[in-house]
Structure 1
Amino acid sequence: MPAGAGARQSGWAAVLAGAAGAWIGARFVEEAEAGRLALWLPVAFALGVSVYFAASNEPALWAAFGLVGATGVVAWAARRGFTTAWLALCLLFVALGFLGGKLATERATAPILAGAMRAEIVGRVIEIEPRARGMRRLTIEIDAFGKLEADARPHKARVAIAGKPEIAAGDQVSLTAFWRPPEGPVRPGGYDFARVAFFKGVGATGFGARDIRNLGPPARVGMAAAANAGLERLRQRLTDRVTRAIGGAEGTVAAALVTGVEGPIPQNVQDELRGAGLSHILSISGLHMALVAGALFWLARAALALAPRVALMWPVKQIAALVALAGATFYLALSGAEVATQRSYVMIAIAFLAIIVGRPALAPRNFALAALIVLAIDPESLMGPSFQMSFAAVAGLVAWFETRRDRPPAPPPADRFGRIRRKIAAAVALAIMTTLIAGFATGPFAAYHFHRVTPYAVVGNALAEPVIGLIVMPSVVAGLLLAPLGLDGLAWAVMGQGLSLVLAIAREVSSWPGAEGGLPAFGEGAMLLFAFGLAWLCLWHTTLRWFALVPLTLATVLAAAPARPDVAVDASGRFAAVRAPSGELATLGPGSGRSFAAKVWIAADGADPPPKGAASDVRCDRDGCVAPLIGGGLVALSWEPSALEEDCRRAALVVTRLTAPPGCSTTAAVIDATVLASTGSLSLFRYGATFKAVAARDPTGRRPWSGTSPSTAPPVEASTLTFSAQKPKEIKHADELAVDPTDDPEDEAAGEEDQ
């Protein structure tokens, strides 16, 4: 190429780069003048929280304070420069988020049960939750735990019980059960039950309860504890009242909407709601809180407007906002104040406070302030699907309503019927658009956490949400207002009819072909790109927002081709799964196809339901199981010492809940109790003769909720193996074995994930 041509191309490139930089700078100034930069401060705070929870070892408190101090000094020094001041302020909020996560951990730190044990406990019941199969799950504040000293005794424990005696919140009980510390993720990157339990103060979970005795109310109890017990008893009475008044599946769904107590909703109803994209109605969240508070606001404002003197002399709108805020506060307390409900309440409270002071209720700054308050109060909630999906939906809706507000209104039709038709069409379009936007915003998070897609969710929500908004939730408000007078029966009857229609919609939509499908689990990198792209799209106001297509496209590409493990191992070493030649996961273990771990693995693999044919090459006997590996060799799951010697000699990979003999690792890659104690559950990826392990927790690190010290268990070491032809043992099909009677159905873990 001639030198002159190269110089001209370089010159044009410089001109284009300069023009692009000037254009971006001008848009950035527009965003700043509109006050949009402040909307990124909660994002920076959330980034700091994420960095804290991603750490392998627990950061020191002094280091977190030091980070805040250092970034504070930088922010002060950079205060005079526009761009540098904003960037420095974002860094300060990253440090504040990191400190917020650390302080939340310090507040929650409490003893965790050191290991599995059977023991008698004595304590006060603080919560009762109905579960499937007539079970109840008790949350107990512990007074005595076997022979454990006070400094080793968990503060709270959860246990599932069946049958009598009758127990109410506030009663003191004693019972004997098999206890264990809360378990970590069933698979690496999965829902961390141990971390969630840690921040709820639960240090032990139990099953197989017996010798249950109700000791009655404790002799002495504090005022706050007595108030909480009274409120919990009110919730239980109202739950029973609603369930009996409505009956059937509608009654259990109604109880979930009124008091937040999710009773034993039939599995087929849960499946139908999920298939129609309506499972979110079972958790009291933004939709329910907004409908209840909105109904109270409308009723109070209409009632005050009936008195002309009051309407002229008093700030009716502000008074109605106060009434609605008080009602929302009562609904928060009555519904159990779960984390999702608390977040919804904070957003509703900020909206009504904005009305009281004469500001717009639905504004981006209000949303950003709500996110910042929720993260400051409960940083750990950032890591769960509830926070991510609720704020993603609100961010999308606020951004869309903001663009609609900027458009000039269309001229109204001249005739009355034309105006009515337009209002009806606008209401239908609004329902469809809000469903589409919320679905787009929450879809990546739902796929990441639950590995499911519901293509007809738009149809299901468009049909069901008008029923929920116009019949079901107004009936909740009417029932709660009339319950003290004993006149609530009609309200519950109307609510039951509305829920019957909602369940009929769910039944119909979920029956359509392709109503629900699975997605293989994708990595955190794709999820972070999705989150960043969504934030960029919603928080900017100018054409800068369309640069969000870059991270969103990259995230889609990464999520479309995730790495799928060749072998999965649960933290106990009792269950495993291996990639079959068909490409599907075959599960190994006692009754493994029905175990909670198997359900999680199969869902994360994008399969629905676990195909029976996938386990055809799995062979099991009373000593363990074997299955062929893709690429040659066998994986052996050993339960008994007598099987270990042969498995170590013949298998390429040995998984056992026992401690393997030292010589075993010279002939096979070994995952035994020692390895699993430091790693938790494992996903293994095979590269030729090598297995690459991805662990649920860093084997060299320790967090307060992990319950394992790296000093007591060495990290797993990579093994390079060569294989030769091997014959499987003469053993039976896995399906011919009975379920291990000690296999816990993981009701505790499943209940946590539902929340």
Structure 2
Amino acid sequence: MQSGARPVSVAGLAKALGVEARQRWHGLDWRRFVAAQWHIETAYGRPALWLAPAMGIGVLVHLALPAHPPAMLLYPLIGAALALGFAMRDLPHLANVGFILAALAGGLLSTDISIRLVDGPRIESVIPKATVTGYVRRIEERSEKAPRLMIEIVSIGAKAAPPRRLIAVGRSLAGLKIGQAVAFSARLAPLPLPTHPGAYSSGFAGFFDRIGGYAFVSGKPQIIDLPQPGIRLRVALAVEAWRTRMTMAIVERLGAKLGPIAAALVTGQRTAIPDDINREFNASGLLHVLSISGLHMALVAGGAFWLVRAVLAGFGPLALRLPLKKIAAVVALVTAAFYEVASGAEVATTRSFIMICIVFAAVLLDRPALTMRNLALAALILLAYHPSSLVSPSFQMSFAATATLIAVYEHKLLPRLATREQSRGLRFASRFAEAVLATAIVSILVEIAMLPITLHHFHRIAWFGVVGNVLAMLIVDIFVMPMAVLTLIMLNIGPAGFAIDALGFGVARMLDIARFVAAFPHATSLLPGFSVAAMLCAVFGTMWMCFWKTRIALFGMVFYLAGVALWLIEPQPDLYVSASGRLVAVRDGGSILRADGVPADRFALSRWLEADGDTRQPEAATLSGGRRCDALGCTLPLGRDHLVAIAKTPEAVEEDCRRADILIIPDGVAPSSCAFPRLILDGQVIRKAAGMVIYWRNGQPRIVSNAQTCGERAWCPSSDLRSRDVWWRRPGS
């Protein structure tokens, strides 16, 4: 220290640094700063990444429209946008706008084409009894439940235009095999609507899978002779039969507990996994391991690439004369294609396969392999091929996780502990520590990225998922997946017993970890779901942080936190009404849902409670708190000062008209003299609404119904549902 200099205190230094930081913040030329960052991003080609989200917006807009838009308007829109992009190629900003608009219009067009290709006849209303003939296309063995079969339909009684496929359910279907021609008698029903607006819609998913309804089988099916199906169906049946044979071989060898888990990793068929094991994997954050996706495809293809390259490198003459890297890439592509077919080619697997193809195509062309641009290209291809997959949790979570993973590596967020100066033992320990830290960091960031999507679809969060992934993923990477690949190979070329046993050993250790983590106190929490708006806002923030390479990526945190804030402040429905009107749940003064008795529709009430973040079961005694029922009907408190009445008889209607704020009449019509209630829902309105939620604010209702959200789209099964009439009637109207 120089003579006469004053010692600087910590507080004084902090104050000085704070003043300097504020001066730099206020003195920053934000316009020049953003322009400089944008120039760097443009040099990296990052604006092109937004073509995939733009196409996704086009898909979402098309699916959200209340009616099918005219296709002839879409082609000129794409042409005009592309023309703008090429005409303004010397003006990058305008050219980017043109190409973004073209991608958006491309999303509209791909969705339009997809809908027209899969549209077909459906079961519109319940048919009490019909004779169904067709081929067994798929079998889902479900733990402790009746098997569920997908039937490729040949005929349904005298119906002139039957649906292409039905889902058949019944215990008498046990023992049937893939490809068999069958006939059975069944009660036919349309695919159900969501239990409430915004919930999962089996009708929407079934429409794009060309499933026209359910068949509840009442008698024993008969094996019959039918004409030989077309070549495409024969190939599909052969592949499905092959997958089922492998699944059965694994389950028979390992038993009903470990067998379904091991089979899920090999063939992707996971419906036979017991519910308690699914809950344990969910609570431990390891449920993603049971669903074949990018992790599994990368391990399979990457393992084949590494193995072939390592073996060929051991032969000196070959290593000097042949492009080993490109040969290994071709073998990895063939291996990935084989695994894609064996695992059922679901959305997440197909996304991963497309990504693997792009990665190894880049290797063959001597280009960078794992980049955000390749991920965006994979998204564009999948959205063009299967646009409706955009709204599935599989698509959303898969791309969110992969984008986060790539961004982590691009931004160099993983620690480097090993150095050349370290001894061999210390270097090994450092690399092991790097792997553990990398797994933890990636798990945390991926969980944050997927949190809005997870809560929107599943309403659950696993608090110790990072612990589960750190403990299990090394076993999965090093042992379980290699044994799964070996099992897949040996099942097709020779005795596979030793490979299945080895896979079962690895699965058992993985299950032990899942149970260990799931046993932690409060391992999972049930929380209210993100709304669509909150989820989109948070996902946009995630994309912003992942897509940009400069400091402007940090602004994505604003959008992500805004989505979380929307989730925290958005209101929950105050009243749920089922499609029949016979089940009602009301939020009382303590913000707790109360139901009008133990329901026949237990499933609907369980979904309402789950969406509300309520851990109670439908049979819980607290659900009936405040409820008053007699032979005429029931009443439930709404908030602290209002009353909901469910009237079952004309006498109850007359009485409730004098005291209820909301009157629900499931099987009748309210008289015109009923003037006291602020809202009346009679039988006609309830049937048209097909399920609704009501937000009660300041004594005024806001109603959202399935009919309103469904509109007049092709996947809406009922003609009544497409009516655009008023969804409720006010007193005196």
Q: SS of the counterpart of 1:114?
A: coil
Q: SS of the counterpart of 2:530?
A: coil
Work out which of the residue numbers 398, 421, 424 in structure 2 matches 1:390.
Answer: 398
Q: Distance in 2 between matches of 1:20 and 1:129?
A: 58
**CA pair 373-20 structure 1, distance change in 2 beyond 3 A:** same
Q: Distance in 2 between matches of 1:139 and 1:258?
A: 21
User: In the alignment, what sits opposite 2:469?
Assistant: 461
**CA pair 487-621 structure 1, distance change in 2 beyond 3 A:** farther
For the pair 1:128 / 2:139, whether they are aligned, the reply is yes
User: In the alignment, what sits opposite 1:746?
Assistant: none
User: In the alignment, what sits opposite 2:157?
Assistant: 146
Q: Distance in 2 between matches of 1:473 and 1:509?
A: 21
Q: Distance in 2 between matches of 1:216 and 1:353?
A: 47
Contact 1:165 1:214 survives alignment (8 Å): no
User: In the alignment, what sits opposite 2:167?
Assistant: 158
Q: Distance in 1 between matches of 2:411 and 2:589?
A: 52
**CA pair 155-643 structure 1, distance change in 2 beyond 3 A:** farther
User: In the alignment, what sits opposite 2:5?
Assistant: none
Contact 1:183 1:194 survives alignment (8 Å): yes
Work out which of the residue numbers 259, 263, 270 in structure 1 matches 2:278.
Answer: 270
Q: Distance in 2 between matches of 1:44 and 1:552?
A: 19
1:198-239 CA distance string (max 9 Å, x none): 1010111233x1123232463322222112111111111111
User: In the alignment, what sits opposite 2:663?
Assistant: 654
User: In the alignment, what sits opposite 1:419?
Assistant: 427
**CA pair 648-406 structure 1, distance change in 2 beyond 3 A:** closer
Contact 2:487 2:503 survives alignment (8 Å): no
Q: SS of the counterpart of 2:411?
A: helix
| Greater alpha carbon shift after TM alignment, 664-673 vs 111-120 | 664-673
- Identity rate of aligned residues, in percent? 35
| Greater alpha carbon shift after TM alignment, 698-707 vs 443-452 | 698-707
User: In the alignment, what sits opposite 2:7?
Assistant: none
**CA pair 687-440 structure 1, distance change in 2 beyond 3 A:** closer
**CA pair 644-307 structure 1, distance change in 2 beyond 3 A:** farther
Q: Distance in 2 between matches of 1:142 and 1:649?
A: 54
**CA pair 171-650 structure 1, distance change in 2 beyond 3 A:** farther
1:536-584 CA distance string (max 9 Å, x none): 1000011110111211221121112221111011223332211133322
**CA pair 649-255 structure 1, distance change in 2 beyond 3 A:** farther
**CA RMSD for the aligned pairs?**
2.6
Work out which of the residue numbers 37, 41, 47 in structure 1 matches 2:51.
Answer: 41
Q: Distance in 2 between matches of 1:640 and 1:144?
A: 43
**CA pair 217-258 structure 1, distance change in 2 beyond 3 A:** farther
User: In the alignment, what sits opposite 1:169?
Assistant: 178
For the pair 1:602 / 2:613, whether they are aligned, the reply is no
**CA pair 213-101 structure 1, distance change in 2 beyond 3 A:** same
User: In the alignment, what sits opposite 1:370?
Assistant: 378
For the pair 1:182 / 2:191, whether they are aligned, the reply is yes
Q: Distance in 2 between matches of 1:321 and 1:492?
A: 27
Work out which of the residue numbers 67, 72, 78 in structure 2 matches 1:62.
Answer: 72
1:363-418 CA distance string (max 9 Å, x none): 11111111111111111111111111110111111111112299999742342112
Partner amino acid, structure 2, of 1:146: G
Q: SS of the counterpart of 1:67?
A: helix
Contact 1:295 1:477 survives alignment (8 Å): no
Contact 1:45 1:95 survives alignment (8 Å): yes
Partner amino acid, structure 2, of 1:373: I
User: In the alignment, what sits opposite 1:725?
Assistant: none
Q: Distance in 2 between matches of 1:402 and 1:292?
A: 23
Contact 1:134 1:264 survives alignment (8 Å): no
Q: Distance in 2 between matches of 1:631 and 1:718?
A: 24
Partner amino acid, structure 1, of 2:37: R
1:577-620 CA distance string (max 9 Å, x none): 1113332212335535x711111111111111345323222345
Q: Distance in 2 between matches of 1:711 and 1:546?
A: 45
1:290-336 CA distance string (max 9 Å, x none): 12222222222233233332222222221122112112111111122
Work out which of the residue numbers 539, 551, 564 in structure 2 matches 1:543.
Answer: 551
Q: Distance in 2 between matches of 1:657 and 1:60?
A: 38
Work out which of the residue numbers 626, 631, 641 in structure 2 matches 1:632.
Answer: 641
Query: By how many angstroms is 1:648 displaced?
Result: 5.2
For the pair 1:520 / 2:531, whether they are aligned, the reply is no
Q: SS of the counterpart of 2:471?
A: helix
Q: Distance in 1 between matches of 2:646 and 2:470?
A: 49
- After TM superposition, the structure 1 = structure 2 runs for residues 701-716 of structure 1, keeping only pairs within 5 Å, are 701-709=711-719, 712=723, 714-716=725-727
Partner amino acid, structure 1, of 2:386: D
Contact 1:702 1:708 survives alignment (8 Å): no
Work out which of the residue numbers 71, 82, 105 in structure 1 matches 2:81.
Answer: 71
Query: By how many angstroms is 1:653 displaced?
Result: 2.4
Contact 2:131 2:183 survives alignment (8 Å): yes
Q: Distance in 2 between matches of 1:450 and 1:652?
A: 33
Q: SS of the counterpart of 2:463?
A: coil
Query: By how many angstroms is 1:460 displaced?
Result: 0.8
| Greater alpha carbon shift after TM alignment, 197-206 vs 400-409 | 400-409
**CA pair 655-539 structure 1, distance change in 2 beyond 3 A:** same
- After TM superposition, the structure 1 = structure 2 runs for residues 431-450 of structure 1, keeping only pairs within 5 Å, are 431-450=439-458
Query: By how many angstroms is 1:479 displaced?
Result: 0.9
Q: SS of the counterpart of 1:487?
A: coil
Q: Distance in 2 between matches of 1:206 and 1:136?
A: 12
For the pair 1:559 / 2:570, whether they are aligned, the reply is no
For the pair 1:495 / 2:503, whether they are aligned, the reply is yes
Query: By how many angstroms is 1:185 displaced?
Result: 2.0
Q: Distance in 2 between matches of 1:418 and 1:439?
A: 31
Q: Distance in 1 between matches of 2:489 and 2:592?
A: 54
Q: Distance in 2 between matches of 1:664 and 1:616?
A: 31
Q: Distance in 2 between matches of 1:483 and 1:236?
A: 12
Partner amino acid, structure 1, of 2:572: R
**CA pair 216-255 structure 1, distance change in 2 beyond 3 A:** farther
User: In the alignment, what sits opposite 2:625?
Assistant: 616
User: In the alignment, what sits opposite 2:3?
Assistant: none
User: In the alignment, what sits opposite 2:205?
Assistant: 196
Contact 1:290 1:348 survives alignment (8 Å): yes
Q: Distance in 2 between matches of 1:453 and 1:548?
A: 23
Q: SS of the counterpart of 1:212?
A: coil
Partner amino acid, structure 1, of 2:726: P
**CA pair 82-219 structure 1, distance change in 2 beyond 3 A:** closer
User: In the alignment, what sits opposite 1:750?
Assistant: none
| Greater alpha carbon shift after TM alignment, 243-252 vs 529-538 | 243-252
Report the number of matched residues. 704
Q: SS of the counterpart of 2:218?
A: strand
Work out which of the residue numbers 366, 376, 379 in structure 2 matches 1:358.
Answer: 366
User: In the alignment, what sits opposite 2:256?
Assistant: 248
User: In the alignment, what sits opposite 2:488?
Assistant: 480
Q: Distance in 1 between matches of 2:635 and 2:443?
A: 48
Q: Distance in 2 between matches of 1:536 and 1:224?
A: 42
Q: Distance in 2 between matches of 1:650 and 1:542?
A: 63
Structure 2 gaps of 5+ residues are 1-22
- After TM superposition, the structure 1 = structure 2 runs for residues 281-296 of structure 1, keeping only pairs within 5 Å, are 281-296=289-304
1:417-455 CA distance string (max 9 Å, x none): 121111111111121122122212111210121111111
TM-score normalised by structure 2 residue count? 0.90
Q: Distance in 1 between matches of 2:590 and 2:336?
A: 53
Partner amino acid, structure 1, of 2:421: P
Q: Distance in 1 between matches of 2:377 and 2:85?
A: 21
Q: Distance in 1 between matches of 2:651 and 2:396?
A: 48
For the pair 1:675 / 2:685, whether they are aligned, the reply is yes
Q: Distance in 1 between matches of 2:496 and 2:297?
A: 20
For the pair 1:344 / 2:355, whether they are aligned, the reply is no
**CA pair 529-544 structure 1, distance change in 2 beyond 3 A:** same
For the pair 1:114 / 2:124, whether they are aligned, the reply is yes
**CA pair 673-155 structure 1, distance change in 2 beyond 3 A:** farther
Contact 2:146 2:170 survives alignment (8 Å): yes
Contact 2:261 2:270 survives alignment (8 Å): yes
Contact 1:580 1:614 survives alignment (8 Å): no
Work out which of the residue numbers 214, 220, 223 in structure 2 matches 1:215.
Answer: 223
Structure 1 gaps of 5+ residues are 1-12, 722-755
